Amino acid sequence: MHKTKNMNWTEKDDKLTAKLKFRDFKQAFSFMTSVALEAEKMNHHPDWNNVYNNVHITLSTHDEGNKITEKDRALAGAISKIYSTFKLD
Output the residue with the shortest Cβ distance to ligand H2B: 63
Total chain residues near ligand H2B (CB under 6 A): 6
Angle, CA 75 vertex, CA 55 and CA 82 arms, to 5°: 60
Decide: residue 51, CB within 10 A, 0-12 exposed, 13-18 middle, 19+ buried. exposed
Contact stretch for ligand H2B (CB under 6 A) within 5-13, 19-27, 49-57, 58-66: 58-66
Write the binding mask 9 to 48 for ligand H2B: x where contact by CB under 6 A, - elsewhere: ----------------------------------xxx---
No. of helices (H) and no. of strands (E), the chain: 2, 4
